[in-house]
Structure 1
Amino acid sequence: MITHPFKAAGAFLKAFPLVMSKELRVFILVPLLANFVLMGLLYMVAFSYFQSLMDSAMSYLPEWVSFLNWLFYIIFGAIISVLLFYSFSVGVNILAAPFMAFLAEKVEEKETGKVFDEALNASVIVSIIGRSLQRECQKILYFLPRFVLLLLLSFIPIVNVIAPVLLLLFSAWMLSLQYMDYAFDNNKVKFHDMRMALRAKPLLCWTFGGIVMVSLTIPFLNLFMMPIAVVAATLLWISVFRSQHGDYSALLDRTNGTL
């Protein structure tokens, strides 16, 4: 277990040259375009409505707590930032899901020699989009109650001291869950089974998610972070998780998951 953080870091170091290779370079273009479009839309909406939303929220507070306005601005600003971050992440991932799924496939083929017997055609893309939407819904349903609980902890005295740390760990966990999902899904591992597999290796997941989280704050690098994270996650699937789940996907029809 103590080597897991080094494995996560090593996967990112190996992912950089892989994602820029000739075979995989094309998969950068779609998430990059999706990043530009969604980021522009979200920031325009956020900046145009933030002040009015804050004024509306502050109007419900009693006068005697008006001296704490600055604190509520920070809290509400943090909540809106986190919601925007996850909205942006979910939106980009839904738009780029078919390409990221195929990117994970190509990395696994390149590294292991395994061949997924399917071509990039309309029916396969529709099937992948449908499965991706289903998995995104599962992630949202998993995320929301836990996020609300962490927000509630932020308002409880003494406990609220550790709430930011818990929120950071949870954010790293969700990023790990998000990007590991492509390789697991390609290999027909159910969402619940994937969570159990990742939960057994918390240091690996927190390190992976932490690297993604920090990278997303770095200008320019954050635009390319999605394909890099998918490649790194696929490398971790190959080196850490693949042997635990067998290699049955070659026997399955990927469009419906049946033999």
Structure 2
Amino acid sequence: MDSDLSYLLRGFKMLREPGIKPFVILPILVNVLIFGGLMFAGFELIGSGIATVLGWLPQWLSFLSWILWPLAVILILAIAMYSFSTVANIIASPFNGLLAEKVEEKLTGKEVSGRETFASALASFPRSIWREVQKLSYYLIFALIVLVLSFIPLISPFSGVLWFLLGAWMLSLEYCDYAMDNRGLSFKESKRRIKARRGSTLPFGMMVMAGTMVPIVNLIIMPAAVCGGTILWVEKLKNAGTPD
């Protein structure tokens, strides 16, 4: 299991490799701009909402501000983390595909027929967007199921764990898929291979999920996760057919 948990760490190390660095800068820039914008908008919106709620309350309940603000911060972080990942992945998807291509070439020493340049990555934007829409649709189906389960008394205490596992699964799917998309594999086939190696892919997704919650780390985790997912593809997913 240690080796399965190490893919993200290996992805971070890969960022420093010669020939990889130029393809890392743009995804990081996208991350910084989107995350900063979401956090600013989130605090502005929640702040005005709390002020409105407190305005409705009698003076003797003003102490609730000490409760509402910590809850608001947690809510903002939770929403921002997923929204940030979703929006950033959609915008940066062509460049993530290009990064995955260069990482695979670095690992195998063989050329991958794919995006090749930043210009060709931009040209592939419509196809990349459609791939991300497929992932989002897949997520929404399971998110609805988890949401319903969250209201069932016996299950609701564990809803946080369910949401974390769903997020981890989706992140493993997100970042392992770029290399397979470069190879022309369908999203259905991508899911099949990732499921077949869930003993490796889910721990990888859990590491990525945990990393998105760490300040500063969450700004550079996208390219590291692309690298880690591509390493997983090269080592375990290319020939995935049966569970670990």
- Shorter-normalised TM range: 0.7 to 0.9
Q: Specify the alignment match of 1:16 in structure 2.
A: 12
Q: 1:178 to 1:47 in 2, by over 3 A?
A: same
Counting only pairs closer than 5 Å after superposition, residues 45-56 of structure 1 correspond to structure 2 as 45-53=41-49
Is contact 2:173-2:191 (8 Å) kept? yes
Q: 1:82 to 1:221 in 2, by over 3 A?
A: closer
Distance apart, 1:52 and its partner CA: 4.6
Residue identity in the other structure for 2:131: R
Equivalent in 102, 107, 120 of residue 103 of structure 2:
107
Equivalent in 120, 124, 133 of residue 117 of structure 2:
120
Distance apart, 1:188 and its partner CA: 1.2
SS in 2 for 1:243: coil
Equivalent in 6, 17, 22 of residue 2 of structure 2:
6
The answer to whether 1:33 aligns with 2:40 is no
Q: Deviations over 1:73-109 (max 9, x none)?
A: 9998766644432221122112222221111111111
Is contact 2:95-2:118 (8 Å) kept? no
Unaligned runs of 5+ in 2: 55-65
Distance apart, 1:178 and its partner CA: 0.9
Is contact 1:38-1:88 (8 Å) kept? yes
Q: Distance in 2 between matches of 1:80 and 1:154?
A: 20
Q: How many matched pairs?
A: 232
Distance apart, 1:72 and its partner CA: 9.9
Is contact 2:50-2:68 (8 Å) kept? no
Unaligned runs of 5+ in 1: 59-69, 246-259
Residue identity in the other structure for 1:171: G
Q: Specify the alignment match of 2:83 in structure 1.
A: 87
4+ aligned runs moved over 3 Å, structure 1 = 51-58, 70-83
Q: Distance in 2 between matches of 1:242 and 1:210?
A: 21
Residue identity in the other structure for 1:101: G
Q: Distance in 1 between matches of 2:9 and 2:45?
A: 40
Residue identity in the other structure for 1:154: S
SS in 2 for 1:7: helix
Q: Deviations over 1:132-151 (max 9, x none)?
A: 10011111111113212212
Is contact 2:194-2:201 (8 Å) kept? yes
Q: Deviations over 1:55-80 (max 9, x none)?
A: 8899xxxxxxxxxxx99999987666
Is contact 1:172-1:206 (8 Å) kept? yes
Q: Specify the alignment match of 2:92 in structure 1.
A: 96
Equivalent in 32, 40, 47 of residue 44 of structure 1:
40
- TM-score, normalised to structure 2, is 0.82
Q: Deviations over 1:206-242 (max 9, x none)?
A: 2101111222222322221111111111011011011
Residue identity in the other structure for 1:120: T
Distance apart, 1:38 and its partner CA: 0.7
Q: 1:116 to 1:198 in 2, by over 3 A?
A: closer
